Amino acid sequence: MLLKKIYEEYKQDVFKYLVTLTYDTSLSEDLVSETFLGALKSLYKFKGECSIKTWLFSIARNKWYEYLRKQKPTISIDDLAYNYLLSENDLDGSLIKKELASKINTLLDNESSRTKDIIFMRIEGYSYFEIGKKYNISEGSARVIDYRTKKKIKDTLMKEGVVYE
């Protein structure tokens, strides 16, 4: 009964989160099912040290990574950075462009170590809450740092004619 209540309350949030990772609603629906199945199997481990939503997002992120590992034997941080920094429209179904990923990493090297770490935590799927907790900043501050850095990188890439809006 408890898991049914959790499912009803959080299924849309988990689905939306997965869509931001996968850009694929059908895959996201499948991963939602796998996420809640994983939650059922590990419910006894949940200690309440984070919110249920954060815990579910963590399971969802891991299910997404499992899926990626099955699809492609190695997923590089460059691939993740490329997918993370560009919107769904920018991807338009093309393969990951290695030069662009390398350029994104070069631009990230110009940022402070904290900012760079925050971006990589987001790339890896950490929530703003988890990032804020690690850096002793508010969730909103983590969100703003992420947004501004992503915008700065996209603007630079647009100025250089690497990506188009």
Higher pLDDT, 140 or 95: 140
The answer to whether the CB of 56 falls within 8 A of the CB of 10 is yes
Report how far Cα 123 is from the mean position of its chain's Cα atoms. Answer: 5
The mean-pLDDT minimum among 26-30, 35-39, 98-102, 104-108 falls in: 98-102
pLDDT value for 34: 92
Higher pLDDT, 85 or 155: 155
Is pLDDT at 4 greater than 70 in this prediction? yes
Is pLDDT at 131 greater than 80 in this prediction? yes
CATH number of 2-71: 1.10.1740.10
Confidence label for 81 from pLDDT (cuts 50, 70 and 90): low
Range 77-159 has CATH code 1.10.10:
yes
| C-alpha–C-alpha distance, residues 2 and 5, integer Å | 5
Confidence label for 79 from pLDDT (cuts 50, 70 and 90): low
**Stated pTM of the model:** 0.46
- How far separated are the first and last CA of the chain, in Å rounded? 47
Domain ranges of the chain: 2-71, 77-159
- Percent of the chain topping pLDDT 90: 17
pLDDT in tens, 24-74: 888 889 999 999 998 888 877 777 778 888 888 888 988 888 887 777 545
| C-alpha–C-alpha distance, residues 152 and 130, integer Å | 23
The answer to whether the CB of 34 falls within 8 A of the CB of 63 is yes
The answer to whether the CB of 24 falls within 8 A of the CB of 67 is no
pLDDT in tens, 5-24: 888 999 999 999 898 888 88
| C-alpha–C-alpha distance, residues 119 and 152, integer Å | 12
